[in-house]
Amino acid sequence: MMCADFLHLEEEVRFLESHGVDWMHVDIMDGHYVPNFTLGIDYCQALSRACRMPFDVHLMVEHPEAHVEGFASLPGARLTFHPETVRQPIRLIERIRELGASPGLALDPSHTVDQFRHLFPLVDQVLVMTVNPGYAGQKLQPHCLDKIAELRALLDAQGLKAEIEVDGNVSWDNIPRMIDAGADILVVGTSSLFQKGLSREDAFTRLAQLVQPDLSAAN
């Protein structure tokens, strides 16, 4: 939602609802874990009163354990955090579940699948960042496509149900490659659905043509 038109936010939300988007992906940035500073709980609560879509909250923050309670109260909340930002990630995963939300882990491009593989059985989604977290409009880190494929193979081999979410330069060219690598969920932004110079309707039509029927598109 950081890529949406803030001056016409309700119009954006209504469009996404009417076109069957599964989640509203909201990036929460604290200016510490990443240099950017965006959105917050008040923004999310206002959105929750205006729409029916559940929230897919990506906590790009230091000390995410201090913030999960507020975000867990959002309808159908999925809370994804970066495990290197907390001393006890298992405790935080358990706390998110206790609050009634769905826990997820985010993998920065600099981190390997092996570093956090012991945590995958405990979560519902693993978010693979294919750009450095913090800003929209960055180029794809090519090695991250291999990371998606590696994660897909690991989850399938172990019979784990965690979904693979992909965030970062989810462009027209990259969407098929991400799907082929094993992505379940795409976080679409300025490289596709919110591309400048392209109407939302035309962009969504193009997106629907690329995305397989069993794949979810999160904005």
pLDDT-derived band at 213 (thresholds 50, 70, 90) equals: low
**So what's the pLDDT on residue 33?**
85
Number of domains within the chain: 1
Statement: residue 36 has pLDDT above 90: no
Q: Coil, helix or strand for 104?
A: strand
Mean pLDDT value across the chain: 90
Q: What is the pLDDT of residues 127-147, one digit of tens each?
A: 999 998 766 667 889 999 999
| Residue range of the domain that includes 167 | 6-218
Statement: residue 215 has pLDDT above 80: no
Is 27 assigned a catalytic role? yes
Statement: residue 214 has pLDDT above 50: no
Mean pLDDT of 13-26: 89
Nearest residue to 4 (alpha-carbon basis) of 39, 31, 30, 41: 39
**So what's the pLDDT on residue 166?**
97
Mean pLDDT of 18-40: 87
Q: Which is catalytic among the residues 22, 27, 156, 184?
A: 27
For 169, other C-beta atoms within 10 Å of its C-beta total 22
For 137, other C-beta atoms within 10 Å of its C-beta total 10
Is 167 assigned a catalytic role? yes
Statement: residue 10 has pLDDT above 70: yes
Q: How many CA atoms lie within 13 A of 105 on its CB side?
A: 28
Torsions phi, psi of 75, nearest 5?
Answer: -60, 125
Mean pLDDT of 53-67: 94
Q: Which is catalytic among the residues 30, 108, 167, 184?
A: 167
Edge to edge, what strands does the sheet with 216-218 contain? 37-38, 24-30, 55-60, 78-81, 102-107, 125-129, 163-167, 185-187, 216-218
Residue 143, C-beta contacts closer than 8 angstroms, at least 6 positions apart: 109
Orientation of helix 143-158 relative to helix 174-181, angle to 10°: 30
Nearest residue to 107 (alpha-carbon basis) of 67, 160, 58: 58
What percent of the chain stands above pLDDT 70?
95
The CATH number assigned to the domain holding 176 equals 3.20.20.70
**So what's the pLDDT on residue 189?**
84
Statement: residue 52 has pLDDT above 60: yes
| Contact (CB, 8 A) for 21 and 217 | yes
In a domain, 1, yes or no: no
**So what's the pLDDT on residue 77?**
94
Q: What is the pLDDT of residues 73-89, one digit of tens each?
A: 998 899 999 999 999 99
Statement: residue 218 has pLDDT above 90: no
* Region class of 155: left (phi > 0), else alpha (psi between -120 and 50), else beta: alpha
DSSP notation for 4-73 = S-GGGHHHHHHHHHHTT---EEEEEEESSSSS-EE--HHHHHHHHHH--PPEEEEEESS-GGGTHHHHHT
Tokens 């008040």 sit on residue = 42
Q: What is the pLDDT of residues 87-128, one digit of tens each?
A: 999 999 999 999 999 999 999 999 999 999 999 999 999 999
